[in-house]
Structure 1
Amino acid sequence: MTTLSTLEFLQRHIENNLPVNAITEMCYPTAISKLLDFRIIAIAKGQATLSICTDPNIHGNQQGTVHGGLLSELADAAIGTAHSTAIKKGESFTSIDLHIKFFRPVWKSTLTATVCPVKLGQTISHYQCEITRENSDLVALASGTIMTLRGDSALGR
């Protein structure tokens, strides 16, 4: 068994250079990301870029466009992925809030969610996530606050 930091695990996953027996403290790929077919395409400490190919026949709402909940989940997954690279061994985290603003509808498209930290704190961190479509048009802008958990609070999370 090869134990890697979450950052190194994800970097090697993106590079398609992950040892078969590699593990990390976090569960990657996450179950929800597998279900929705999110792909991690770039990673750095406190930063992440995820993508998804959307289709209103799969991800649609009652108006026939991609559901805003999918965009919210994409932002939440990207923010969580970014934060998982910024915490120490034995720590975990939980979301405190997620705010999202929608700027344009999406149909069949490749969306990219790019996350950067606004402030990486000891316990509370703030992130911003831009979701764009393939022509770089801004689709949504999300912000999220994450609390890092330590000790007993981090167990089983």
Structure 2
Amino acid sequence: MNTIPVLEYIHKMINGSLDENDRTFMIYPTAISKTLGFRIAEVDKGTAIIEVDTDPLKHGNQQGTIHGGYLCELADAAIGTAHSTLINEGESFTSIELKTNFFRPVWKESLRAVAKPIQSGKTISCYICEIYKSNGKLAASVTSTVMTLRGEKAKGR
């Protein structure tokens, strides 16, 4: 078995060069991302872009638009992916705050969630994730505060 850093693992996953023996200490792709159809399009140290094709028949609310919670989860996945590239083995992290502003409704659409740090600290980091429609217009903007956990606090997470 070949344990590699998260960033290297995701790069290999994106470009299709993962070896059957490649492993990392985090789970990629995540179960929720597989369930919701999220795809990691790009990743770098502290940044990530997640894409998804939405469908109101699967992701819709009572008005027929894509549910806001789905957009929040898309942003949370992008932010979590971005932050995981900064985490060392034996560490973990958790979101401690998430704020979403919705600017445009979304229906059947290809979305692109772009996450990057506003401020990266040793324990507390803040991110912004902007969700764009295929026409380049901003659908939502999400900010999140993430806490890195170490030692006993990271065990079992």
Give the TM interval when normalised to the shorter protein.
over 0.9
Misfit runs of 4+, over 4 Å:
none
Q: How does 1:80-99 map to 2 (within 5 A)?
A: 80-99=80-99
Output the TM-score relative to the length of structure 1: 0.99
Deviation, structure 1 residue 16: 0.8
Q: Which residues of structure 1 form unaligned runs of 5+?
A: none
RMSD value, Cα: 0.6
Aligned partners of 2:20, 2:2: CA distance in 1, in Å? Answer: 9
Q: Which residue of 2 aligns with 1:8?
A: 8
Q: How does 1:8-27 map to 2 (within 5 A)?
A: 8-27=8-27
Q: Which residues of structure 2 form unaligned runs of 5+?
A: none
1:138 and 2:138 matched: yes
Per-residue CA deviations over 1:18-38 (Å, capped at 9, x if unaligned) read 111211110111010000010
Deviation, structure 1 residue 87: 1.5
Aligned partners of 1:76, 1:70: CA distance in 2, in Å? Answer: 10
Q: Which residue of 1 aligns with 2:149?
A: 149
Per-residue CA deviations over 1:94-129 (Å, capped at 9, x if unaligned) read 100100000000000000000010011000000000
Q: Which residue of 1 aligns with 2:126?
A: 126
SS in 2 for 1:26: coil
Count of aligned positions = 157
Q: Which residue of 1 aligns with 2:75?
A: 75
Q: Which residue of 1 aligns with 2:56?
A: 56
Aligned partners of 1:101, 1:86: CA distance in 2, in Å? Answer: 26
Output the TM-score relative to the length of structure 2: 0.99
SS in 1 for 2:71: helix
**Percent of aligned pairs sharing the same letter:** 57
Deviation, structure 1 residue 130: 0.3
Deviation, structure 1 residue 139: 0.2
Q: Which residue of 2 aligns with 1:38?
A: 38
